[in-house]
Amino acid sequence: MEEINLKELFSYYKSKILILILIVLITLFVCNVITLLFRVPKYKSNTTVVLVSKTSENYSYSSTEYQLNKNLVSTYSEIIKSRKVLNQVINNLGLSYTTDELSENITVEEVEDTEIIRINVIDEDSNLAMNITNEIAQVFIKEVKDIYNLENVSVVDEAVIAESPYNVNYLKDNVIYFAGGILLAFSIVFIMYYFDTSIKSTEVIEDKLHLTVLAIVPKESGV
């Protein structure tokens, strides 16, 4: 492999600075166009429900009930995404989703070391995402009452309309595109340098051909 002169390579990069800038700008432009055309903005809404006991003011919440509720969290998480719940949500809101399609847009999380369940819904329509989330919570609470004859679930925070897409971050994207553009630009110019066999200086003649340069004909401006 031919030895690369770093000083010469650096000078070559300096001479191609406009090409480097142009490649970076083209990369930024193309990536942003692709993002706008092919990335569909999606919005995420979430609500939280907590397992509690409906008791009188003088009632003491026991550790046994606490453990029971903790054990029910996993079961309740499965009920939330059950066909029975989702079918009711679809019918109540008149959605065009199938239960499988709706299920794919829902995630259920158990908040660590708590009796709280967080329900997340993703949709291309921010308002619909909010409505689906809140409806799931209400249908789920009703189903728990019907199945277990318990009223131990309450909504903590209702879902609200998401102001911005959760899957689009233009600042972060452009930092990545810019870094990729720089890498691409330097790679292309390096390939140009590597396969450029033209003589760029008298030092090249003396180093590679082992000849002594006797005279240099300067290039006239405009030629």
208 pLDDT tier (thresholds 50, 70, 90): low
Residues 176, 151, single domain; the answer is: no
Residues 134, 173, single domain; the answer is: no
What pLDDT digit, counting tens, does each position of 153-175 carry?
889 999 999 988 988 888 999 99
Sign for the pseudo-dihedral over CA of 72, 75, 81, 84:
negative
**Within-domain flag for 215:** no
**Within-domain flag for 222:** no
For residue 192, the enclosing domain spans 6-38+168-209
Is-above-0.85 flag for pTM?
A: no
Higher pLDDT, 74 or 33: 33
For 32-51, what is the mean pLDDT?
Answer: 90
Residues 63 and 212: beta-carbon distance below 8 Å: no
Long-range contacts of 8-12 (CB under 8 A, 24+ apart): 8/200, 8/201, 8/204, 9/190, 9/193, 12/189, 12/193, 12/196, 12/200
- The domain that contains 59 carries what CATH number? 3.30.70
Residues 110, 145, single domain; the answer is: yes
Residue 147 pLDDT: 85
**Within-domain flag for 218:** no
Residues 66, 89, single domain; the answer is: yes
Residue 155 pLDDT: 92
Residues 150, 106, single domain; the answer is: yes
Identify the CA nearest to 188 among candidates 2, 23, 12: 23
Total number of domains constituting the chain: 2
What pLDDT digit, counting tens, does each position of 113-139 carry?
778 899 999 999 999 999 999 999 999
Residues 111 and 120: beta-carbon distance below 8 Å: no
**Within-domain flag for 92:** yes
Does residue 219 register a pLDDT over 80?
no
Residues 29, 81, single domain; the answer is: no
Residues 19, 78, single domain; the answer is: no
Residues 88, 129, single domain; the answer is: yes
Residues 64, 139, single domain; the answer is: yes
